[in-house]
Amino acid sequence: MKPPEPQPVPQHVAIIMDGNGRWAERRGLPRRRGHEEGARSVEAVLRACKQAGVRYLTLFAFSTENWRRPRAEIQGLMQLLARFLDSHEDDLLREQIRLRAIGRLDDLPRAVRATLRRVMDRTAGFANRELILALSYGSRDEITQAVRAIAAEVKAGTLAIGDIDEAAVSRHLLPPTCPIPTC
């Protein structure tokens, strides 16, 4: 039997970090514990991406819908995010991984935004690998923002309606400089 053909390595992998709270509840643990385990799994995913040669990793870590969770859970998630950034900043620098974030970042608590900005600024010069955190992110919100930006260009006369194509839409999606994740 002939071995299977090797598959090309995707440039961009995206993971929806969902189900961590339910994982913990099924095991009789607090939801917070599931979120902590999910954060720990990021290290293994980053290692696997490096070994496989994946350049971009997007983690959908906190959706716009997550703001509807209980206040204590949201605060715990924000604290976990800040701790993750603090504890992995040196790793990102050592591995030369650029950190970026997409979503409604202004919705995040000020201290979390400051930590996020610091790590993004310190890793901004790296170009070989990227970790993209989707925070306070929603695909419908992203599409709405893209449509508004395109409509503004049409209104300003800098874009003709006939020139709206996939490339024009892609330029307005987040982040516009990354290839689309591979399925």
The overall average pLDDT reported for the chain is 91
**Domain 12-138: CATH architecture, name and number where available:** 3-Layer(aba) Sandwich (3.40)
pLDDT category at 157 given cuts 50, 70, 90 is: very high
pTM above 0.75, yes or no: yes
The pLDDT, as a whole number, for residue 117 is: 98
183 has a pLDDT exceeding 70: no
Burial of 38 (0-12, 13-18, 19+ CB in 10 A): buried
Helix, strand, coil proportions of the chain in percent (round to 5)? Answer: 55, 15, 30
48 has a pLDDT exceeding 70: yes
Domain parsing of the chain, residue ranges: 12-138
Q: Which residues pair with 99 in a beta bridge?
A: 131
Torsion angle defined by CA atoms of residues 122, 103, 62 and 138, in that order, rounded to the nearest 10 degrees: -160
The pLDDT, as a whole number, for residue 22 is: 85
Q: What is the distance between the alpha carbons of residues 75 and 71, in angstroms, rounded to a whole number?
A: 6
Asked whether 113 and 39 are in contact (CB, 8 A), the reply is no
The pLDDT, as a whole number, for residue 35 is: 83
Q: What is the pLDDT of residues 50-106, one digit of tens each?
A: 999 999 999 999 999 999 999 999 999 999 999 999 999 999 999 999 999 999 999
Catalytic residue annotation: 18, 66
Q: What is the distance between the alpha carbons of residues 77 and 32, in angstroms, rounded to a whole number?
A: 8
Tokens of residue 166, six digits: 């996939």
Q: At what angle do helices 71-95 and 31-52 cross, to 10 degrees?
A: 20
CB atoms within 10 A of CB 168: 15
The pLDDT, as a whole number, for residue 178 is: 80
